Every structure is written in structure tokens, then in C-alpha cells.
Chain A
């Protein structure tokens, strides 16, 4: 656990010290908040009151987009910057390196999503104009919370697979973003009908949870020093 935290802290620190530093992270967050927290919710206020399948954008596409970007940097980026082999030459276990990075990607993505969701809630309340405070329905909260988190973990694992196969973070990021968009589009455009009932949502959650467990186990098995050194 201590080793996982060491890797986690380093990852967070590296993001904070990336080009542009904290200012760049805040700027990105403001863009996300403006686009997905203000503009889109104002155009579709109703979907926040009654669970709608357009929310797939928020619980699937958005987590995928943010997680794939950060995962690409965490794995392919480390190889691209030629720091991976030195890291692998330390006493850290493969598992600690992998889980530390996975935790960092998850926390970073979850923080971004929480900020966006909070903005949405504020905007919907203002747009509603009701004197009573509006809170999302339980199904929506489930989608924005646990389901989005599970999707984040799943995408982070998939991102690892991609990162292991490509040399640059940019390629990994593009594949991840394009992949998540491809999966989201049929639902967003109504080609695939998705019922927003609790039963269905729990089923989706369970399936994704199993997928996360399987992909995490596969990722840990795949993330081996001897496979990473070329």
C-alpha cells in the first residue's frame, strides 16, 4: 500500500508540475466546466430532471475522455519521456507501479467529474428558477457517481493496454478518445435504446464492475517488466 501511495503522489505531483502547471489544470477544468457544466446543461435542462439516455455522455463519454488522456500520459508518456526503464529498475513491484498510476488516473478523473457535476447542478438550479433546491434523481446520481467511477477504472485499464502497444502518449490518447466516442455515439443518437430504470442501471453497473475486475486482473498480469522492456 505504501508503494502504491508513493507512485500515486509522484503522479499527482508530475501533473501539477506539467507544462503550465496548476494554471493549465485549472484552465482545462474551466473549459470542461464551461462546455459540459454550463453550455450543454442549459441546452438540455430536462434530461437532468428525468433520467435520460443522453446522460450516457456524462457517465460514459466524459469519464472515458478524461481518463484516456491521463492514462495515456501515465503509461505511454512515461515510456516516451524515457523514465519507464529507470522506474522499472527500482525495487517497486509491477503491481505497485500499476495500481499507483491507476489510482492517480482515477482520482484525477473523479475530481474533474465532480467539479463538472457540481457546476451542472448549480446551472440547472439557476435555470429552473424554483425557490426550492433541486437535486438530481437517484438514478442520475448513481450514473454520475459510482457508474462514472467504474467507467473511469475500466477505461484506465483499456488505456493501459493501448499504452503498452503504442510508443507515444498522443497516439494512446487519440485511440482512447476516439474509441469512447465510437461507443457513446449509438446511444447518444438513439440508435441503441437504453432504459434508465434502476434495474437496468444496476445491471449495467454489475456488468461494468465485472469488466473492471477482469480488465484489472488482466492489466496486472500484462504489466510485467520483462514485457515492457524492448
Chain B
């Protein structure tokens, strides 16, 4: 019977010689979902995968993968999962075909099934014709694809992908991402993917978890996290007419860190007292070394405050060219969660009964949406 939860961790902790690499990780990942584990280098993503595969023993806490304990039944887990680790791990002296055949043999695939799977998978990455070439002669992107095919050779229920697009150029990463989505979603697998490519996470993942310094900071769907940890923004382009002349005479841009132009400074001052508004920055686009266009970025704690913003700017006689409302990206969420240097990261539960993931440090997985973190509280006071 398929397990409803593919992965459950309870206070999972790993220390290396008393140095904590992962602390009290609580995760619940539903089967059939794509879960993205986001975090900077050294955050604990790979350690988590190694723990879930039973390659490392937890220092404390426990974890279950498809109902099997990582501490006691690791072999059963490894029988049912496919893995692409940080390094592709291909045998470069062997051909692409032999690489897949070796892993098919490891998982005891019958000869006819083995042939069919290899043909199917090499076909899906459009490499069947190149099957007899040594894997070492392939490009990095092709090797990654081959390694993903290898991870899927035995049709596993759960696939771990550790930074699958790392080191690829944007075009190759994009193509691999698309193929990955197609490959895994068609087969209805559970995917546990670690990445620091936020665009990738946003496109591929049903759920994401943000981890930093071994601590899980938040989990939820990308849209839930955006809603909980960052606010919509309004980008206001000012200038034009008399204002344009004023802007055109503005300061020269030096490394993109210029002082606000007088007009922008005036606009920022006008917005200071508008309720529900947090002026963030002046953004300038340089043309021939001069500020040719001024943009004011404004964070909205109250999404209905746009008319008040416009009224304040008009009252201050700021010429407005364009008002553009933008949604916060997952990158904004990630940065707001991981860039609180000096303070220990706090945990957050953003759970949704329908979307399938919950994370919390102290309580069992909830079923309602809730977001309470230091980051949020900080945001709320702005």
C-alpha cells in the first residue's frame, strides 16, 4: 500500500564532532509531491539527504522514509529510492548504456525489463544513439541527464536530487529542469530536490523548505511562503516633463549605488507618512552614466494603500510616469529568511492540509495555515 507520507522526520539532528550540521528537523512530505529544499551552501541539505538514505546515523531524533526507519531499515529505503547526489557519480570509463545496465543489475531488473527501461530512459533524454559512448566524453549537462536517468532506472517511488542543475549554464539548466518536470510528473514520483536555484524551485516544486545553518526556517508552497514572508511591492517610475529634466541632471551612477536624486528623495519623503507603506529603495537605470529614469520601490503592508501613495506623490508635485505592482518572488522570501545574520534562525510552520507539507520545531504538523516567525514579526513592525 502506498504511504501517504513519503518522508517524516522528527527532531532529526546530526552533529559532526559536536558541531551541529542539522538541528531538530521536523518535516512531513506527502507522497507524489515535489519538495524543494532550499538553502545556501553548507546549510545542511546534503546532510539531510545522507541521513534519509541511511548513509549517516542521526545524532538524535528519527526519520522514516516510505514507512521505513532510516536507523534500522536503511536497506529497504535504498531499494526503493533513486538518487542523484551532488556529484553525478557516473562511471566515466563505462558507456552510457553500461552505466544504466549496472544499476539495473543492482536492482535486479529482469533482462527484458532492463533493456526496455534503458531504451526508454536514454530515449527520453535523446541519447539512445549515443549509448555506446563513454560517459566521461559527455558534456556536464548530458552527464547530469544520464545520472537522472540512472536514478530512475528501477522506477523508484521516491527520488532524491541534490543540486541537479548545479554548474550548468542557464540554457542547459532550463532544459534539464523542463525535462525533469516532465519525467517525474508523468511517473507521479515523490521528488526531494535540493537547490539554491530559486527560479528552479518556484517552477518545479509543490512545496519548499528553507534551511540555513542546519535549522529549518520555513516550509510551505512557494505561494504560501511568498504570502507569509514578503509583501507585494509597487514600483513607481517618476520624472517626465519638468521632472524629467530634473532627473536627467541627476547624479552620476557609480557602481549602481548612487544617492537618490533630488526628485526621488522628495518622493521618498512624501511617502514617509503614508500608512501601510515602506519605501525600500530608489532604483535607477543608468544611460550614458546619467540617471535617466528613477524608480521608487515601495513595500506594501496594506495592499490597498496604492491610491494613498499616488495621492501623496501628486500632493508633493512628483510627476508619475508609471505605477507597477509586483508580486514578491521566492528569492525575496529566501533572502528575508536567510540574511538575518547574527541571530539564530527561528522556525516557521506554514502548513496547508491540501498541499501536503508541514514543518515545525515543537509541535506536530498542523492542518491550518499559520506563519509565525521572528522574520514575520520583524516584517510586521515595519
Interface residues of A (CB under 8 A from B): 2-3, 6, 9-10, 13-14, 17-19, 81-83, 85-93, 225-226, 229
Contacts and interface: CB of A to CB of B under 8 A. Distances in A.
13 contacts: A6-B105, A9-B105, A14-B93, A17-B95, A86-B83, A86-B87, A86-B88, A87-B89, A89-B78, A91-B106, A225-B54, A225-B55, A226-B57
A82 B102 contact: no
A3 B103 CA distance: 11
B155 interface: no
B94 A17 contact: yes
Q: Which 7 pairs show the lowest CB-CB distances between chains A and B?
A: A86-B89, A82-B87, A91-B79, A89-B83, A17-B93, A6-B105, A91-B78
Contact of B53 (A6, A18, A89, A92): A89
A91 B107 contact: yes
- The CB with the most chain A CB atoms within 10 A, among B57, B81, B91, is that of B91
Contacts of A3: 106
A89 B106 contact: no
B53 A226 contact: no
Interface in B53-95: 53-57, 75, 78-79, 81, 83, 85, 87-95
B50 interface: yes
A16 to B, nearest CB: 9
B56 A83 contact: no
B90 A83 contact: yes
Contact of B103 (A18, A82, A90, A93): A90
Contacts of A81: 91-92
B93 A18 contact: yes
Nearest to A228: B55
Nearest to B103: A90
Interface residues of B, number: 29
B12 to A, nearest CB: 16
Contacts of A19: 93
Nearest to B75: A91
B140 interface: no
- The CB with the most chain B CB atoms within 10 A, among A3, A13, A85, is that of A85
Given A86-B89, A93-B75, A10 B56 contact: no
A91 B53 CA distance: 10
Nearest to A19: B93
Contact of A2 (B78, B87, B94, B108): B108
Nearest to A16: B93
A100 B333 CA distance: 49
Nearest to A7: B106
A10 to B, nearest CB: 5
Contacts of B11: none
A201 B9 CA distance: 58
Given A10-B105, A18-B93, 8 more contacts: A10-B91, A10-B94, A17-B93, A86-B83, A89-B85, A91-B78, A93-B75, A225-B55
B54 to A, nearest CB: 7
B78 A226 contact: no
Given A14-B91, A17-B93, A85 B85 contact: yes
Contacts of A87: 89
B55 A89 contact: yes
Interface string B105-118: 11110000000000
Contacts of B55: 85, 88-89, 225-226, 229
B98 interface: yes
B134 interface: yes
B87 A90 contact: no
Contacts of B87: 82, 85-86
- The CB with the most chain A CB atoms within 10 A, among B54, B79, B105, B134, is that of B105
Given A92-B106, A225-B55, A226-B55, A86 B94 contact: no
Contacts of B106: 3, 6, 90-92
Contacts of B85: 85-86, 89
A17 B103 CA distance: 17
B89 A226 contact: no
